[in-house]
Amino acid sequence: MASIEDRRRAEDESRRDRIVAAADRLYYTRGFSSVSMDELRDATGVSLRSLYKLFPSKDDIIIATLRERRRVWAEGLAAYVDAAHSPRDKLLAVYDFLAGWFCDDDFRGCGFLNAFAELGAVNTDVAEIVREHKTQFQHGLVRLVEELGADPSLGAQLALLAEGAQTTAAVTGDPRAADHARAAARTLIGAALESGTRRVA
């Protein structure tokens, strides 16, 4: 049987999850500065006292929200990549993931770039999380490129295609940016493999 302390921890964890989920929705659709703690209280049904107990400042909520968004984004991307069989198909699956994401009704671009644009200059923790996220994404592509047997620089090129697609889709509202990026990725991958074959020959 759970102790009183265990039940309190479980309740705090449940409140914390509700707060982070609500904050993520509000921040992503409206930006960070415009969402007040009172609005978070109303959205979650959690009292201000409990909010501040779990998150002493708004910055703490923002950081927790970005970390959770990074986890969810990474898991979603991994599901697409892991379902593909060859290294080449795994690389192209990245753009299939983006294509699905761009079609979401609430798509507002990359939440990390949005955070960096709004807060990166004044909040070093936010800037660091965004840099870590982008670096990890690029490193993941480099690992797949190395499995493919191509030059690692291809990973950076493919990352730039993905980043450009996210920005283009957000600005234009056109999810086909992912398809265009995927077609360009296929061309780059094909050229890299052909170049490697010529060097071996």
Domain edges within the chain? 1-56, 62-200
* CA–CA distance, 3 with 26 (Å, rounded to integer): 35
Q: Taking a C-beta distance cutoff of 8 angstroms, is the pair 174, 164 a contact?
A: no
Chain-centroid distance of CA 49 in Å reads 30
Note the pTM of the prediction, 2 decimals.
0.89
pLDDT tens digits, one per residue of 29-81: 999 999 999 999 999 999 999 999 999 999 999 999 999 999 999 999 999 99
CATH topology of domain 62-200: Tetracycline Repressor; domain 2 (1.10.357)
* CA–CA distance, 150 with 115 (Å, rounded to integer): 33
Per-residue pLDDT of the chain (201 residues; tens, 9 = 90+): 568 777 888 888 899 999 999 999 999 999 999 999 999 999 999 999 999 999 999 999 999 999 999 999 999 999 999 999 999 999 999 999 999 999 999 999 999 999 999 999 999 999 999 999 999 999 999 999 999 999 999 999 999 999 999 999 999 999 999 999 999 999 999 999 987 644 433
CATH 1.10.10 for the 1-56 domain, yes or no: yes
Q: Taking a C-beta distance cutoff of 8 angstroms, is the pair 68, 148 a contact?
A: no
* pLDDT of 9: 82
In degrees, rounded to 5, the angle at the alpha carbon of residue 29 between the alpha carbons of residues 51 and 121 is 80
The DSSP call for residue 32 is S
